[in-house]
Amino acid sequence: MSSSTLDQWNEMKVLVESLDLDVHKNASGNASAGVRARRGLRLLKSKSSELVKATIELDKARKA
């Protein structure tokens, strides 16, 4: 794996860790935490698709 791929992966792990508190607060009834959690989940979704695209390009470059 390239360092860029690992950097993206570490960024995603930090994002998941930061979402943990808001998800728990939302489960306890805090509506504002729910908004933050959903925003973070959408960001996580876009970051994960970027990581998938980057790894596909890396694999293609290695095969070429």
**pLDDT-based confidence at 60, cuts 50/70/90?**
very high
Number of independent structural domains in the chain: 1
What does the pLDDT read at residue 1? 58
31-56 pLDDT, tens digit each? 999 999 999 999 999 999 999 999 99
Arithmetic mean of pLDDT over the chain: 94
- Structure tokens belonging to residue 42: 């959408």
**What pTM value is reported for the model?**
0.85
pLDDT at 29 (0 to 100) = 97
Range of the domain at 59: 3-63
Cβ neighbour number for residue 19 with a 10 Å cutoff: 20
Q: Which helix (H) or strand (E) holds 2?
A: none
- Rounded-to-integer distance, Cα 25 and Cα 30, Å: 6
